[in-house]
Structure 1
């Protein structure tokens, strides 16, 4: 006697992966320290050149984070037609990233 087998199962259709979010993108920072998002180059500093960052459309602003979630810079959306937004820092002075741990480890001056 031949053993019974399970009946054939219907083929599960391939579900395509979700499309990238319209609000958050992972981008590569160019060698000039700028990242392009929605046709605009946002300067974030040469210290980040070659790194991947998360760029987020936060409504009225564009926020750029490193892959650990540290906010690198936040820019207001520029006027239509703008092609480049500077980071506002002098070329020889990189921006200081900020995150909660920086605030927590900051030494407060002694109180007298």
Structure 2
């Protein structure tokens, strides 16, 4: 299952986000969004069906590598000008400059933990209520105004800190709660906010 759909950013997305790459996923139950990838697999499977049955994974990998070579270097690409091969088009394209990482590999600690050794642990997306769940503890003190924001988590045995993935900005830190604590409050009561009741005007 894609952990992004549960509000959790996996290690792969965490890594490529730091490289400046935006991860996208297809919508559930809409296979047409993966059409190009599925079509490529169909071509690959048809090619492998014509090959002798591989007796080892190494032999199968050799067949796949040969398919890749023909597909990219010998097969004219119908969608390219002059029907050149994919390799020819790649060779004629100037090399793009890589994106700079959005945040440093090890985020700068806040002034409170400047002498510590907080290391980045993972990335999460702030929930609509302004919280993030880490190691079974729900930290509800980031703020609903940051709902949907990707945050990097950095922690040691005593402290946890949160940073904005996009800007690298330090957001907030908190002492790691005592064993058994599963909820760190933002200082407001849990549950929906109560609407102030208007007092009825006295009868005249």
Regarding TM over 0.5, the answer is yes
Aligned to 2:66: none
Q: Where do 4+ consecutive residues of structure 1 move more than 3 Å?
A: 87-90
Larger radius of gyration: 2
Which structure 1 residue ranges, 5 or more long, are not aligned? 1-10, 12-21, 91-112
TM-score, L = length of structure 2: 0.32
Listed one character per residue, the Cα deviations across residues 38-94 of structure 1 (whole Å, up to 9, x for unaligned) are 11011211011111100111331000000121111101000111111123479xxxx
Query: 2:136 matched to 1:34?
Result: no
Aligned to 2:172: 73
Flag the structure with more relative contact order, 1 or 2, with Cα contacts below 8 A and sequence separation at least 6: 1
Checking the alignment, whether the CA contact within 8 Å between 1:24 and 1:54 is kept in structure 2 is yes
The Cα RMSD (Å) is 2.7
TM-score, L = length of structure 1: 0.56
- Aligned partner of residue 172 in structure 2, secondary structure: strand
Q: Distance in 1 between matches of 2:164 and 2:188?
A: 18
Of 145, 155, 159, the match for 1:57: 155
Q: Distance in 1 between matches of 2:168 and 2:139?
A: 18
Q: Distance in 2 between matches of 1:80 and 1:65?
A: 24
- Aligned partner of residue 168 in structure 2, secondary structure: coil
Which structure 2 residue ranges, 5 or more long, are not aligned? 1-61, 63-118, 190-204
Number of aligned residues: 72
Of 104, 122, 143, the match for 1:25: 122
Task: Tell me which protein shows more strand as a share of its residues.
Answer: 1
